[in-house]
């Protein structure tokens, strides 16, 4: 029975049964529309034989929520936070204090749960420490999956990224991995929560997946497998449904292995590879890469000591080059933007893109064997890259190698120096095996890299005496270079000490901020696009991101993630994508036309699939671009279009009114099947 204020009820003392007698006369109102159907009775008088005590437990947050509800919708636009006023809070505090003295109220400390506690910075931890001193401090529960890591906002590391003084106040609960039976039970409960029916054998397979990968990944597969099952009209998830989503969606381990296996085929695969595994650094992806000799010319121009070298494009130029300096040994290097030169092979059969010789007379022969020929390495296309220039340099005697790098890091909001006395090796190995031999130093952009900091870094790199002064000078010169050329990374590996007491930058990698191209025109003019895919060069002119592939279905998609998913679905249905083409979020009709011209210029393309999800992108803009492009280039290839999102109805009308032979698709799966079937 539902009772409300003004109802007259009786409660049976023995059984507790509640009976509604009617409404009290004192609650009768003329405007009450239900009055004619309501029975009104007199309120009983006298003391109640039994009273019921009601205890309400509330928090100040709940009072804030109630208060915000009473303020109305317009309060959202007034900047009001919804909290109760300080006067009301004082009244509550006073009343609660009275109740506590009278024994009517008891304040229960709250529970503050902080997940991913390593994400807090030092100021948050200081606040928590101070709050825990309060008499009514909450029970603090913290969770993290980090080991020893840096405390955010400081240069210090500690267990879980939590300050030691706060850890000292905690009781640490150890956890253990779930057993197979526990994992299965959790997955079964999750299926019930998501209202999914799963066959026992499918649940067993999913449990095994969870044990081999992670419980979180297995839980995510439940929803996906349910969608697959529903699409085929089944009410229960079978083994095949689980297997399909497992093959479509990678877990973290398989994804990492995929990246390792196909690293050389990804865009910008060289960028930042020497810093893999170093935390917490994150380098931005940039487009411009310079050849080795160009980087050394920049170093030399800004006062950084490098080995002597000359450039040659022919045997005749090599003869002139060796006359300018006479080292004990020459090193001859083919200049291409790819690694593995030393073990590469030229199209004329000559082996090795890096050679050493003590005979000046051998240099012209080595140069002529490299210049004008294509060098094939593990990191080049199958037909290699044309070598147009060869560097003839003095071979430097190395007494000791160190590592030095300056990069722009988002987490520190400025430049960061990474240094290690162990150079000439993969720096990620140093970070993993001997992290104590790796130092990370944030640089204040207002102070710059001071002489004191430079000397400290030189000392850490084990330069002593006069060499320490020389190394400090080289470090400051590298920082000046970093600023002068708008670099995002300047990596010297190795920075060496010679037996003659010199500090020399032997190998350099410099990356640049492409947003600074307008003031670094001389540097960006150095870029060699002769070996780039002409389609990629043309696409870049129209702000399109294009990568050619070997398939026959041309793709036009907005967003890199959606573009990769589109290619995956095409392959799933037996097709082969001809390209990766991301038109971006600000695409205009003219760019759509340029994209169509790129696709149709590829003779391998036999069908075109357009897959656009309109968030920022206006689907009507895409539709107009498709229609205009199809008419202007007289498109005679099968065209499948799938559009969803902003102005999609208008876009569909534009396509329908065009009377072009366009096949529309309801979803990505449908679009891929139609594109493959049209071949």
Q: Which residues are annotated as a binding site for substrate?
A: 558, 615-617
**458, two tokens:** 């030189």
SS3 (DSSP) at 374: strand
Nearest of 299, 311, 620, 273 to residue 478 by alpha carbon? 299
Nearest to 348 by CA among 331, 368, 334: 368
Q: Assess whether the previous peptide bond of 16 is cis (omega < 30° from 0).
A: no
Cα–Cα dist 404/401, whole Å: 10
Partners of 334 in beta bridges: 390
262: left (phi over 0), alpha (psi -120 to 50) or beta: alpha
Which of 569, 654, 553 lies closest to 609, judged by CA? 553
Which one from 403, 412, 479, 546 is the annotated catalytic residue?
A: 403
- 190-204 in b/e form (b: 16+ CB < 10 A) is bbeeeebebbeebbb
Other C-beta atoms within 10 Å of 358: how many? 10
Which residues of 550-638 form beta strands (DSSP E)? 553-557, 579-582, 607-614
- 491 labelled catalytic: yes
CA distance 55 to 76: 32
- Report how far residue 408's alpha carbon sits from residue 152's, in angstroms, rounded to the nearest whole number: 17
Catalytic site includes residue 428: no
DSSP labels, 426-464: -HHHHHHH-GGG-EEEE--TTT-S-HHHHHHHHHHTT--
**First vs last C-alpha separation in the chain:** 69
Task: List the one residue out of 313, 317, 353, 362 whose CA is nearest residue 333.
Answer: 353
Distance, CA of 522 to CA of 118 (rounded, Å): 44
Measured CA to CA, the distance from residue 86 to residue 60 in angstroms comes to 12
Beta strands 639-645 and 579-582: pairing type?
Answer: unpaired
Binding residues for Mg(2+): 493, 507
The annotation places the binding site at 307, 340-342, 396, 493, 507, 558, 615-617
Distances (CA, A) of 82 to 76, 85, 111: 8, 9, 22
Q: CA-to-CA distance for 99 and 34, rounded, in angstroms?
A: 41
- The tokens for 301 are 């121009």
CB 461 within 8 A of CB 424: no
Structure tokens given for 437: 């031999």
**Gap between the Cα atoms of 334 and 340, Å rounded:** 11
Cα torsion 591, 593, 595, 599 to 10°: value is 180
Question: How is residue 366 annotated by DSSP?
Answer: H
Contact 612, 582 (CB under 8 A): no
Structure token pair of residue 438: 């790796």
Length of the chain: 679
Do 213 and 201 touch, CB atoms closer than 8 A?
Answer: no
Q: Between β-strands 157-159 and 148-150, what pairing exists: parallel, antiparallel or unpaired?
A: antiparallel
Residues tagged active-site: 403, 491
């Amino acid at each position: 029975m539902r009772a409300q204020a003004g109802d007259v009820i009786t409660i049976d003392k023995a059984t507790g049964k509640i009976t509604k007698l009617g409404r009290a006369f004192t609650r009768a109102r003329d405007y009450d529309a239900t009055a004619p159907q309501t029975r009104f009775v007199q309120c009983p008088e006298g003391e109640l034989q039994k009273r019921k005590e009601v205890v309400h437990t509330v928090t100040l947050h709940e009072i804030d929520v109630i208060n915000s509800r009473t303020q109305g919708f317009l309060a959202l636009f007034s900047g009001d936070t919804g909290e109760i006023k300080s006067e009301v809070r004082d009244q509550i505090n006073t009343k609660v204090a009275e109740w506590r003295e009278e024994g009517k109220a008891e304040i229960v400390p709250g529970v503050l749960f902080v997940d991913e506690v390593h994400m807090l910075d030092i100021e948050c931890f200081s606040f928590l420490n101070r709050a825990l001193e309060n008499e009514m401090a909450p029970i603090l529960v913290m969770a993290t999956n980090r080991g020893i890591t840096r405390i955010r906002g400081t240069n210090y590391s500690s267990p879980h990224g939590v300050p030691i003084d706060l850890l000292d106040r905690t009781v640490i609960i150890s956890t253990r991995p779930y057993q197979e039976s526990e994992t299965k039970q959790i997955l079964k409960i999750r299926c019930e929560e998501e209202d999914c029916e799963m066959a026992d054998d499918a649940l067993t397979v999913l449990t095994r997946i969870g044990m081999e990968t992670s419980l979180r990944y297995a839980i995510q597969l439940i929803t996906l497998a349910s969608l697959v099952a529903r699409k085929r009209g089944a009410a229960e998830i079978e083994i095949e449904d689980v297997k399909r989503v497992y093959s479509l969606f990678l877990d973290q381990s398989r994804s990492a292995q995929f990246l390792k296996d196909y690293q050389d085929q990804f865009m910008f695969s060289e960028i930042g590879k020497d810093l893999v595994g170093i935390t917490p650094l994150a380098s931005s992806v940039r487009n411009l890469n310079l050849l080795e000799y160009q980087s050394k010319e920049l170093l030399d121009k800004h006062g950084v000591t490098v080995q002597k070298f000359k450039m040659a494009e022919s045997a005749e130029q090599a003869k002139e080059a060796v006359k300018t300096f006479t080292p004990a040994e020459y090193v001859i290097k083919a200049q291409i933007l790819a690694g593995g030169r030393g073990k590469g092979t030229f199209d004329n059969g000559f082996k090795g893109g890096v050679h050493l010789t003590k005979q000046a007379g051998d240099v012209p022969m080595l140069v002529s064997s490299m210049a004008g020929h294509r060098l094939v390495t593990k990191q080049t296309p199958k037909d290699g890259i044309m070598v147009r220039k060869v560097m003839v340099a003095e071979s430097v005697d190395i007494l000791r190698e160190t590592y030095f790098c300056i990069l722009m890091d988002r987490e520190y909001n400025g430049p960061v120096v990474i240094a290690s006395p162990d150079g000439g090796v993969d720096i990620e190995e140093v970070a993993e095996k001997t992290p104590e031999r790796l130092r990370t130093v944030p640089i204040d952009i207002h102070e710059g890299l001071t002489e004191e900091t430079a000397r400290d870094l030189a000392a850490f790199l084990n330069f002593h005496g006069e060499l320490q002064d020389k190394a400090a000078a080289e470090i400051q010169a590298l920082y000046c270079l970093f600023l002068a050329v708008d670099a995002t990374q300047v990596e010297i590996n190795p920075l060496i000490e010679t037996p003659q007491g010199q500090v020399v930058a032997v190998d350099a990698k410099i990356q640049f901020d492409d947003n600074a191209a307008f003031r670094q025109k001389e540097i960006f003019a150095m870029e060699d696009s002769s070996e780039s895919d002409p389609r990629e060069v043309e696409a870049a002119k129209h702000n399109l991101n294009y990568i050619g592939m070997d398939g026959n279905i041309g793709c036009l998609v907005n967003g890199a993630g959606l573009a990769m998913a589109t290619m995956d679905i095409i392959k799933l249905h037996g097709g082969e994508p001809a390209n990766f083409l991301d038109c971006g979020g600000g695409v205009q009709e003219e760019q759509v036309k340029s994209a169509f011209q790129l696709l149709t210029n590829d003779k391998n393309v036999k069908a075109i699939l357009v897959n656009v999800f309109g968030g920022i992108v206006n689907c009507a803009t895409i539709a107009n671009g498709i229609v205009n492009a199809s008419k202007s280039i007289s498109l005679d290839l099968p065209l499948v279009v799938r559009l969803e999102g902003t102005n999609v109805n208008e876009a569909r009308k534009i396509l329908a009114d065009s009377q072009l032979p366009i096949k529309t698709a309801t979803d990505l799966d449908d679009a891929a099947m139609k594109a493959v079937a049209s071949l």
